[in-house]
Chain A
Amino acid sequence: MNKIENAIKEVHNIDKLSNQERYLNKMHPLMKLLITIIYILFLTSIDKYNINTTLAMGIYLIVISIIGDLSIKNCFKRLKIVFLLLVILGLANIVLDRLVITYIGFIPITTGLISMITLILKGSFAIIASYFLIITTSIEKICSALKMIHIPNILITIFMLIYRYIIVFLKEVERIWTAYSMRSPKQKGVNFRVWGSMIGSLMLRSIDRAQIVYESMEIRGFNPNTFFVQKEKINKLSLIYFLYCILLIIVLRFVPIFDIIGNIFV
């Protein structure tokens, strides 16, 4: 099942990238998390017909990819899921919002088309920004940032446990699926006769595993109220990076850069 294999690869890949010794990886996780949230907030607040500002917000991603030596290439796979959804939503705008604002050759450019492009751009930029956050910040560091913004320990523990066990379960599901597909060739999915027993038996094993995990955590002195997440101090470099990024985002959002550049040449 390609889907499971891809998911396993993706988690491994992100884990590997986030633990590399790159410039952006060394920045404080809270700063990176806040920058990403602020960027997405500013991006989504742009008017649906304002294609210039939306495009300008893409400059931030280019700058970050240059600073951090990050590749957008791997991100395109992730865009597929959202792209389809946004295109469907955007197509309705083309049909219902048909005010022609200009012509390119004989092709009419309508407000609906502009809003559709803006919608797709916003969605894609938001995903790339989140991708940049996750490939430069390990899960432990994200948890540390969440802890600093006072997210309760229980949620952080659950989040970390899910992340740790995802690979284990994905591999287990893949093994079950391989065994099943070898015994039932040319079958696309799981037959309804084995829906319950196949997943149900894995579920029972999972619950038993949870019991073992709990016991071993208990032996190691686990206390959910005082669960320890390593906190990092915010260094000067991270603070400068934060201020630089925020300034860049504000400029891109509120200064019509493309219009200014265009006016110079026209």
Chain B
Amino acid sequence: MHMADAMLSPAVGATMYVASGLVAAYSINKIRKEEDFKKKIPTMGIMGAFVFATQMVNFTIPGTGSSGHLCGGLLLSSILGPFGGFLSMIGVLLIQCLFFADGGLLALGANIWNMAFYGCFIGSLIWKFIMKNGMSKTKIILASMLGSVLTLQLGAFSVTLETLASGVTQLPFGAFVLAMQPIHLAIGLVEGLITSAVLCFIYEARPEILWNGNNKIEKEARFSYKKTIAILSCLVVIIAGGFSLLASSNPDGLEWSIEKLTGNTEIESKENNVYQTAQSIQDTTTILPDYSFENSDNSLGTSVSGIVGCIITVVFLLIVGYIIKLKRKKGSYLENE
């Protein structure tokens, strides 16, 4: 995902330098306040060299002919924390750029942002969130997978935005995103697997060196199951009801395109019996046509329709879930018989 200099315009390159520079300054400031700051510096350097060297190892992906690498940012931040990991990654990227032509001098700011910032800060946020009630192997695998996938997706998306903002390619936004995101999803999954394997080994051997590994919080849920459901239900009602008031009265993207072509937001069908039959069924069964009360344009209608829609969806899902559960129970009962 290293960007070359030619992929960026000076303006975009400079902007990314400023953004990465600010994060670096903040990280330095934060790390200076840490108790073991002096001790951490050699660790940052050596861990940077370690990540650089181990990224050269190809790991065979079972069942495929391809291979993958470690996710450096996440690995570093799971040992050094986000600030130490970020500074260490800057060093790695600078070495890669100068000595191995992986990235460029102008693109360094963008590469730091795309790989170190997301890898270390977003990665560590995920890590911290998952580990807040203590560590386990499952949680490490989950955090590594989720962290790798998400940070790589964000990085790939940033590469798309930066390249398009620089105006070096004729590729439209949609095509570029489609070319970048799926391939990085696959890479992210593989990197997550490899990183989780290494971190699980560390957890088994010396868990105390993992970031937050020594601050195990007792496994006590902050909210009970019932409380969580009640809060979520309230949130759903607020979001569905409240936010639907803000729903745009303008046509959406697809409707807009149809309106431009036909002068109406809906395509009129003249001689299609199937369409007419389907429409008549829809007209008689819809509770709230076009998300509002029939023959009414007021906002209350929109709001109520949001809540009703939400309740119907939830009830429908619960019924489907209940049926599946019943079937499973029945299946296991028959198996036991």
Residues of A within 8 A of B (CB): 1, 3-4, 7, 10-11, 14, 36-37, 40-41, 43-45, 48, 78-79, 81-82, 85-86, 89-90, 92-93, 95-97, 112, 115, 119-120, 122-123, 126-127, 130-131, 133-134, 142, 152, 154-155, 157-166, 168-170, 172-173, 177, 187-192, 195-197, 199-204, 206-207, 209-211, 213-214, 217-218, 222-224
Contacts and interface: CB of A to CB of B under 8 A. Distances in A.
A130 B67 CA distance: 30
B94 interface: yes
Contacts of B94: 159
B170 A112 contact: yes
Interface of B: 4-10, 13, 24-25, 28, 31-32, 37-39, 41-50, 52-54, 56-62, 65, 67, 70, 79, 87-88, 90-92, 94-95, 97-102, 104-106, 163, 167-172, 175, 193-194, 197-202, 205-206, 209
A1 B171 CA distance: 37
A92 B53 contact: no
B98 A7 contact: no
A210 B46 contact: yes
A1 B205 CA distance: 28
Contacts of B167: 48
B47 A210 contact: yes
Contacts, number: 261
A165 B6 contact: no
Contacts of A224: 37-38, 41
B46 to A, nearest CB: 4
A192 B196 CA distance: 11
A127 B170 contact: no
Contact of A7 (B25, B100, B171): B100
A189 B170 CA distance: 37
Nearest to B84: A158
A201 to B, nearest CB: 7
Given A169-B52, A173-B54, A130 B95 contact: no
B240 to A, nearest CB: 41
A114 to B, nearest CB: 12
A158 B50 CA distance: 13
Nearest to B194: A195
B56 A173 contact: yes
A218 to B, nearest CB: 7
B201 A44 contact: no
A199 B171 contact: no
A131 B105 CA distance: 11
Given A126-B105, A152-B28, A204-B206, 13 more contacts: A14-B99, A40-B105, A41-B10, A81-B101, A86-B6, A86-B7, A122-B5, A123-B7, A127-B101, A152-B24, A169-B50, A202-B54, A211-B43
A158 B41 contact: yes
Contacts of A123: 4-7, 104
Contacts of A209: 46
A44 B13 contact: yes
A222 B37 CA distance: 12
A28 B187 CA distance: 42
A191 B87 contact: no
Main SS class of interface, A: helix
Contacts of A142: 98
B205 A200 contact: yes
A96 to B, nearest CB: 4
A158 B44 contact: yes
Nearest to A95: B170
22 contacts: A1-B56, A3-B56, A4-B57, A7-B100, A36-B105, A37-B106, A40-B104, A44-B6, A89-B163, A92-B169, A122-B5, A126-B104, A154-B41, A155-B87, A159-B91, A170-B56, A173-B53, A189-B58, A189-B60, A189-B67, A196-B199, A214-B38
B4 A85 contact: yes
A45 B9 contact: yes
A150 B79 CA distance: 28
Given A36-B105, A200-B201, A158 B88 contact: yes
Given A161-B45, A169-B49, A204-B205, A130 B171 contact: no
Contacts of A130: 97-98, 101, 104-105
B6 A78 contact: no
A79 B104 CA distance: 12
B58 A165 contact: no
Given A10-B100, A40-B105, A122 B28 contact: no
Nearest to A156: B91
Given A44-B9, A44-B13, A173-B53, A195 B41 contact: no
A258 B43 CA distance: 53
Contact of A190 (B32, B57, B209): B57
A206 B206 CA distance: 13
A210 B42 contact: yes
A44 B106 contact: yes
Contacts of B205: 200-201, 204
B49 A168 contact: yes
A203 B50 CA distance: 7
Contact of B49 (A45, A154, A161): A161
B90 A78 contact: no
B4 A126 contact: yes
A196 B98 CA distance: 30
B9 to A, nearest CB: 6
